[in-house]
Structure 1
């Protein structure tokens, strides 16, 4: 079930149990706990888990570069997100600014797990976090991912 737009500091709800944010969100221990965040997916090379004793982390070490192959990590990201949600917790996916790398993972997750087109997923995420801006290389990877899922390309 889709949740209404909800902003809490630098967090935005994207789907039931799934939050998108920046490094600021990941450093806000009080907010993480109040939102029942149990799992944190870090999609950045230079950021390390802030509270490793308190949350379950997975780190995908990638740069925000059009040449980065983020798509090769989608499967492990989806598994981690599902683990967090299936155990009754909530999951924060973040990168540095919460605009490109983490957004790309969220978009791919919505496309795969909720059978959304890229265009629909992008509209949904943008409605909740207007500042999203996946780099051109990530957009290309998402278009190819959509082709592999649906055999279609959004126009």
Structure 2
């Protein structure tokens, strides 16, 4: 199975496998199918509402009995309604390509050569036989009553503009474009003579300076001072002192706290008991330092 080819928006070209793939049909909103090999491929999805236009053509036929007006209206009505159409045969090489070429020539008023260029750009493996090609030439002569477009410079509507841009963008080969030469300045680069090269020694040879963080100098005249009001001093608020007197008085109070001696006597450390346990009598019992209790003999 070959992947179906999107010709324009709403028109797909595929083989027998694409006609059997229901997931592909539903995903791309295909509501109409043109079966160009109805003698070999049955219409599988008529039961679910897909509309078919069947042609029982054979590859051996020299001419295809074809109503181009009906086929054009069948495809164009579905595209204008926002739906999609699949044109398929067994291998999508000759018969289905024939239908797509006639539709594009009539819709965009393209010549046969321009139409084949467009399809070959999308699907390069089609094989139109000589008898079918002669039928396309006759159809082109019939269309010569109105002027046909043979170049890609002019587009008459939005659909043709989209198709033209698709073709032109695919033909643009960026690798074959001539490379632009960079503009080379005539001025030569000159180095300054006063530049001095700097030698960086290894890391273990570098001596780092030890920086000490300088301590900020305190200015007592600018320091905020918090005064503590002692409960014993009732006239603290009424007193007026200078800044130096307040600092001296606070320092003197802190020194007095350290100079206070306690009246308690020092605790003497207990002497360690000797080898012989010291015995003392307690209410008829002798207690030793070894915590043994001996009963006094009467």
The TM-score, its normalising length taken from structure 2, stands at: 0.46
Q: Quick check: which has more Rg, 1 or 2?
A: 2
> Is the helix fraction higher in 1 or 2?
1
Q: Which has the higher contact order (CA 8 A, sep 6+)?
A: 1
In structure 2, the partner of 1:4 is none
Checking the alignment, whether the CA contact within 8 Å between 1:39 and 1:57 is kept in structure 2 is yes
The structural deviation recorded for 1:66 is: 4.5
In structure 2, the partner of 1:57 is 52
The structural deviation recorded for 1:135 is: 1.4
In structure 1, the partner of 2:164 is none
Runs of 4+ aligned structure 1 residues displaced above 4 Å come to none
In 2, the alpha carbon distance for the partners of 1:105 and 1:17 equals 15
Flag structure 1 segments of 5+ consecutive residues without an equivalent: 1-8
Checking the alignment, whether the CA contact within 8 Å between 2:36 and 2:95 is kept in structure 1 is yes
For the pair 1:127 / 2:121, whether they are aligned, the reply is yes
In structure 1, the partner of 2:11 is 18
CA-based RMSD of the aligned residues comes to 1.7
For the pair 1:29 / 2:49, whether they are aligned, the reply is no
Checking the alignment, whether the CA contact within 8 Å between 1:66 and 1:135 is kept in structure 2 is no
For the pair 1:39 / 2:40, whether they are aligned, the reply is no
In the TM superposition, 1:65-104 aligns within 5 A as: 65-70=60-65, 72-104=66-98
Flag structure 2 segments of 5+ consecutive residues without an equivalent: 151-298
> Is the strand fraction higher in 1 or 2?
1
